[in-house]
């Protein structure tokens, strides 16, 4: 455990070397690929995730239903696959949105400094006083309440989108609103360092506009920290989505979601443990794999980063 290997590793391309030295990383990536494939092929599975079969409720795993059926006789594998799609789509889209908001706020605050910086960062700091689950539940309540009403004003296209997506859009909004804070902080810190770089000063002297400097010099160099920030946001988005659906303020039934499946599994865990175990393993392994991959990415982009980032 010396510093030398990590320095050497930084120069070489990431994946091949790291995978060879870390079998866990390879397994994690393989599992994530499997989840994506299952999610993408959910429509081709022999069973419909919505078709109820009341004669075969709560049946344990068998040849007909590999993972058994749930309390309404719906195939667990099909529901898990659709649930994977729900979780991944929500996690990825809301991460992208949250990262974009974070970049915008962090870059402006870090580049302009002065009162804009103070206002933005005071606000971000204050928002950290909300535990994220709590804030997400609050926001989800508002979003769900606002969007599930049939209104005729300018909200109507959003409302339509919300209803069409089975509540998915509400979760997306909630997660985007709640998870941009980390990214804003990380990007701001990096922008402050980069703006005093000599090539930025040179570009300014040559007459480059703020926007040009930002687009050409600062943001591309922020990419590593942005990726690092995203590695924090993706797992927490999956976790929060499952948590919100678990509490019933997430994806609307009958759309399957991992969180809702775990919630109904918890209700009957004493009599039908397979209803709990399968979605729990799916969520657990997915989060574990994402964290393993995230750790590798963080280590690659900045070995010293882990302390500053996670503590925020």
Partner 1 sequence: MFSFILKRVLASIPTLLVVYTVTFAIAHLTPGSPWDSASANRPMEPAAKAALDAKYNLDAPLHIQYVGYLWGAVQGDLGPSFRDPTQSVTDIVKKFLPTSLALGSMAIALAIVMGLLLGVLAALTRSRALETAILFFCTFCVSLPTYIITAVLIVTLGVGLGLVPTFGWKGLFSTSAIVPVVSLALAPMAAIARYCRNCVLEVMHKDFVRSARAKGVKRGRIIAVHILRNAIIPVVTVAGSYASSVLVGSFFVESIAGVPGFGRYFVLAVSARDYPVIIATTLVYAVIVVLCNLLVDIAHFIIDPRTREDVR
Nearer to partner 1, 92 or 287 (CB): 287
Taking the complex as a whole, the smallest distance from the CB of residue 287 to partner 1 amounts, in Å, to: 4
DSSP codes joined into one string, 41-100: TGGGSSS-SS---GGGTTPPS-SSSTT-B-TTS-BHHHHHHHHHHHHHHHHHHHHHHHHH
Q: From CA 268, how far away is CA 71, in angstroms rounded? A: 9
Taking the complex as a whole, the smallest distance from the CB of residue 89 to partner 1 amounts, in Å, to: 19
Taking the complex as a whole, the smallest distance from the CB of residue 22 to partner 1 amounts, in Å, to: 10
Give the long-range contacts of residues 12-17, CB within 8 A, separation 24 or more.
Answer: 14/296, 14/297, 14/300
- The number of helix segments (H) and strand segments (E) in the chain equals 15, 0
Taking the complex as a whole, the smallest distance from the CB of residue 217 to partner 1 amounts, in Å, to: 31
Taking the complex as a whole, the smallest distance from the CB of residue 228 to partner 1 amounts, in Å, to: 15
Taking the complex as a whole, the smallest distance from the CB of residue 272 to partner 1 amounts, in Å, to: 11
Task: Point out which residues bind partner 1 (CB under 8 A).
Answer: 1-3, 24, 122-123, 125-131, 133-134, 137-139, 141-142, 145-146, 149, 235, 239, 242-243, 246-249, 262, 265-266, 269-270, 273, 276, 280, 283-284, 287-288, 290-292, 295, 306-307, 310-311
* Strand-pair partners of 75: 69
Nearer to partner 1, 206 or 307 (CB): 307
Q: Identify the residue whose tokens are 């870059």.
A: 107
Q: From CA 85, how far away is CA 113, in angstroms rounded? A: 41
Nearer to partner 1, 233 or 276 (CB): 276
Nearer to partner 1, 82 or 249 (CB): 249
Q: Identify the residue whose tokens are 């980063």.
A: 305
Nearer to partner 1, 165 or 286 (CB): 286
CA distances from 34 to 30, 41, 80, 122, 276 (A): 6, 10, 13, 42, 21
Q: From CA 140, how far away is CA 243, in angstroms rounded? A: 11
Nearer to partner 1, 47 or 246 (CB): 246
Nearer to partner 1, 51 or 306 (CB): 306
Q: From CA 108, how far away is CA 111, in angstroms rounded? A: 5
Taking the complex as a whole, the smallest distance from the CB of residue 311 to partner 1 amounts, in Å, to: 5
């Amino acid at each position: 455990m010396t510093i030398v290997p990590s320095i050497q590793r930084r120069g070489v391309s990431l994946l091949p070397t790291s995978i060879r030295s870390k079998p866990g990383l390879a397994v994690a990536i393989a599992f994530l690929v499997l989840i994506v494939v299952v999610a993408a092929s959910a429509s081709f599975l022999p069973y419909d995730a919505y078709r109820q079969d009341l004669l075969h409720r709560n049946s344990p795993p068998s040849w007909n239903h590999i993972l058994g059926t749930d309390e309404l006789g719906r195939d667990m594998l099909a529901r898990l696959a659709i649930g994977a799609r729900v979780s991944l789509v929500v996690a990825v889209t809301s991460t992208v949105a949250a990262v974009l908001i974070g970049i915008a706020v962090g870059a402006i605050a870090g580049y302009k400094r002065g009162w804009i910086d103070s206002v933005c960062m005071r606000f971000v700091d204050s928002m950290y006083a909300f535990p994220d689950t709590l804030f997400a539940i609050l926001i989800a309540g508002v979003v769900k309440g606002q969007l599930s009403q049939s209104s005729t004003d300018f909200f109507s296209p959003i409302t339509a989108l919300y209803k069409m997506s089975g509540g998915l859009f509400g979760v997306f909004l909630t997660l985007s609103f709640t998870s941009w804070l980390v990214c804003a902080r990380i990007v701001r810190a990096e922008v402050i360092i980069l703006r005093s770089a000599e090539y930025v000063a040179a570009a300014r002297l040559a007459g480059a506009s703020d926007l040009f400097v930002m687009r050409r010099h600062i943001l591309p160099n922020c990419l590593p920290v942005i990726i690092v920030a995203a590695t924090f946001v993706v797992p927490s988005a999956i976790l929060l989505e499952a948590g919100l659906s678990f509490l019933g303020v997430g994806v609307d039934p009958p759309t399957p979601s991992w969180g809702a499946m775990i919630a109904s599994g918890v209700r009957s865990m004493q009599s039908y443990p397979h209803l709990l175990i399968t979605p729990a393993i799916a969520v657990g392994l997915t989060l574990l794999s994402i964290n393993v991959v995230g750790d590798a990415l963080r280590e690659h982009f900045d070995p010293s980063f882990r302390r500053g980032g996670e503590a925020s």
